[in-house]
Amino acid sequence: MFDSLNISASALTAQRLRMDVNSSNIANASTTRGALVNGKWEPYRRKMVVMEPREKAFNQVLQGEMQKQTQSQTGLQGVRVSGIVEDQTPFKMVHDPAHPDANADGYVMMPNVDLSKEMVDLLAASRAYEANVTSFNTGKSMMLKALEIGR
């Protein structure tokens, strides 16, 4: 009965994390000292959220088979975040001899964050979040209407 709400809730959680990671990328778009690697500073590296379908737990599948339920034959129960990975695209080289992190030739390694790409991704995550809120509210309304019919 609550599968639709659980699926929407899992998507809301995943999309919120995706928006948080995008916001972090935007905030660090100019961070030249993101991580200390082998005693040398590297710029911030863009992060991306990896999502995958969430499957039913074994005990739920077993219980469903024992009761011969026909609901959710696919076994899928929404989405889950499987990890946050770093984008391995090369850093940008910007000529700025006055920058404290400039090399001998006057170039600074800048993060591999593309602001336009991040804004598009943030907008897509926001729209997906809104769609899941609508889906959640629709499911909730249907359940309330069913309860009213039963009175």
- Cβ pair 102, 70 in contact under 8 A: no
Which tokens in the block code for residue 76? 């899928």
Report the pLDDT averaged over residues 15-19: 96
Which tokens in the block code for residue 72? 């959710």
Which tokens in the block code for residue 89? 């695209």
How does residue 18 score in pLDDT terms, banded at 50, 70 and 90? very high
Residue 56 lies in a domain: yes
Give the domain range for residue 70: 3-29+47-86+113-150
| 88 against 68, higher pLDDT | 88
Residue 131 lies in a domain: yes
Residue 142 lies in a domain: yes
How does residue 72 score in pLDDT terms, banded at 50, 70 and 90? very low
Q: How far apart are CA 90 and CA 123, in angstroms?
A: 25
Residue 95 lies in a domain: no
Residue 127 lies in a domain: yes
Residue 96 lies in a domain: no
Q: Angle 88-93-98 (CA atoms, 0-180°, nearest 5)?
A: 140
Predicted TM-score (pTM) of this structure: 0.80
- Cβ pair 51, 79 in contact under 8 A: yes
Which tokens in the block code for residue 1? 């009965």
How does residue 94 score in pLDDT terms, banded at 50, 70 and 90? very high
- pLDDT value, residue 12: 95
Number of structural domains (the chain) is 1
Residue 64 has pLDDT above 80, yes or no: no
